[in-house]
Amino acid sequence: MAVTVESHGTIAEAQRALGSGAVYLGGGTILMRAVNAGLVQGRVVRSTDPSLSRIRPMGDGVEIGAGVTMAAIAANPDLGFLHPVVRAVGGPQVRNMASIGGNLFAEHPYGDLAAALLALGARIVMAGGMQRPIEDLLRDRSRAGLVAAVQVSRPRDPRAFGFLKVSRVRPKGVSVLSFAAHLPREGGRLRGVRIACVGLGPMPLRSPSAERALEGGALDAAAVARAAALVAEGLDPPTDALASAWYRREVAGVHLRRLLGRML
Ligand SMILES: Cc1cc2nc3c(=O)[nH]c(=O)nc-3n(C[C@H](O)[C@H](O)[C@H](O)COP(=O)(O)OP(=O)(O)OC[C@H]3O[C@@H](n4cnc5c(N)ncnc54)[C@H](O)[C@@H]3O)c2cc1C
């Protein structure tokens, strides 16, 4: 079957067009490989709605259109807290095309930016305006629908947010593991800890055990060691060509300790 590409001037039109079994095209770094391999057939829908490539300040945070690329985030001085994350995604060609919206739907071992947004408690704005926490979207991606934008608060203390990617090929390799940690402090105690990872499950997810080990306490070497020891508890890492589940489980604590150690 032939592939036809439809371009729609508004998100609303694109959403309507998707209603009848078409697939949405963001930057195409993943989808076009599937098209070229004959795995996607029929209708491909894209949108040229200007809001998809807009970055705008919003209260204590920012709203990033779903079509904004990694390169555009890296070039935006207001999004400095995300720069280490987007610079870790692929090489320059990939970053020029890869969108924040597409990263939310990228299968393992991808999803570095999604993990960072998960740690930061981002909210997803769907086409049509409905908002949902990023956790909900990541849990149910196959039926999620069209994402219009991502809203994320800036960490009040820039040192409270950290990101670490572990890959076999540097600087452009995909993740064996990635960790993002948001560790806000109030009066010397950690409040609202969020630790997210790529590589410890089928999609970017949080580590409830590591979060519990840190929440409410001081951030010191003992707390970091406790969180590191528990990070993979209750999680089910995948085995793939990069690493086995056993290996990911074994080394997860080492790398989380490294990241949190930098944030002490
Ligand atoms: C060589 C290479 C290296 C890479 N390295 C990394 C890496 O290091 N880290 C990483 O995280 N990823 C990596 N990726 C994966 C990919 O580039 C990124 O995840 C990228 O963000 C995907 O975005 P896209 O716009 O290209 O998505 P597309 O390919 O356009 O789409 C991917 C999926 O998302 C869906 N989608 C896209 N936009 C939306 C939307 N607005 N609403 C709903 N669904 C949508 C599409 O329908 C499709 O199912 C790499 C890819 C390649 C080819």
Amino acid letter for position 185? R
**CATH code at position 115:** 3.30.465.10
Residues 54 and 39 in one domain: no
- Residue 40 contacts by C-beta under 8 Å, 6 or more apart in sequence? 3, 23, 31, 34
Answer with the one of 153, 184, 203 that is the final residue of a domain: 153
116: tokens are: 């960072």
Indicate if ligand 1 lies below 6 Å from the C-beta of 181: no
CA of 26 to the centre of ligand 1 (A): 7
Residues 195 and 142 in one domain: no
Number of compact structural domains in the chain: 3
By three-state DSSP, how is residue 123 classified?
strand
Q: Determine the atom of ligand 1 nearest the C-alpha atom of 113.
A: 11
Indicate if ligand 1 lies below 6 Å from the C-beta of 179: no
Q: Determine the atom of ligand 1 nearest the C-alpha atom of 111.
A: 11
Indicate if ligand 1 lies below 6 Å from the C-beta of 195: no
Residues 190 and 253 in one domain: yes
179: tokens are: 């960790």
Note down the domain range covering 258: 159-262
pLDDT in tens, 154-192: 999 999 999 999 999 887 789 999 999 999 999 999 999
Q: Determine the atom of ligand 1 nearest the C-alpha atom of 112.
A: 11
Q: Which of 99, 163, 172 to mutate to test the pocket of ligand 1 (most atoms within 8 A of CB)?
A: 99
The reported pTM is 0.98
pLDDT in tens, 23-33: 999 999 999 99
Answer with the one of 153, 168, 194 that is the final residue of a domain: 153
Q: What letters, b where the CB count within 10 A reaches 16 and e where it falls short, cover 101-120? A: bbbbbbebbbbbbbbbbbbb
Residue nearest to atom 27 of ligand 1 (CA): 102
Residues 14 and 74 in one domain: no
- Residue 171: asked if its preceding bond is cis (omega within 30°), the reply is yes
Residues 141 and 214 in one domain: no
Of the candidates 192, 40, 28, 181, the residue with the CA atom closest to the CA atom of residue 94: 28
Q: Cite the DSSP H helix spans in the chain.
A: 11-18, 31-36, 70-74, 83-86, 92-97, 100-105, 112-119, 134-139, 208-214, 221-230, 245-262
Residues 76 and 165 in one domain: no
CA of 98 to the centre of ligand 1 (A): 6
Residues 68 and 79 in one domain: yes
Compute mean pLDDT per 10 residues along the chain, 264 residues long, and list them.
Answer: 92 92 96 94 96 96 98 97 97 97 97 98 97 96 94 96 94 92 96 98 98 98 98 98 97 98 96
Indicate if ligand 1 lies below 6 Å from the C-beta of 23: yes
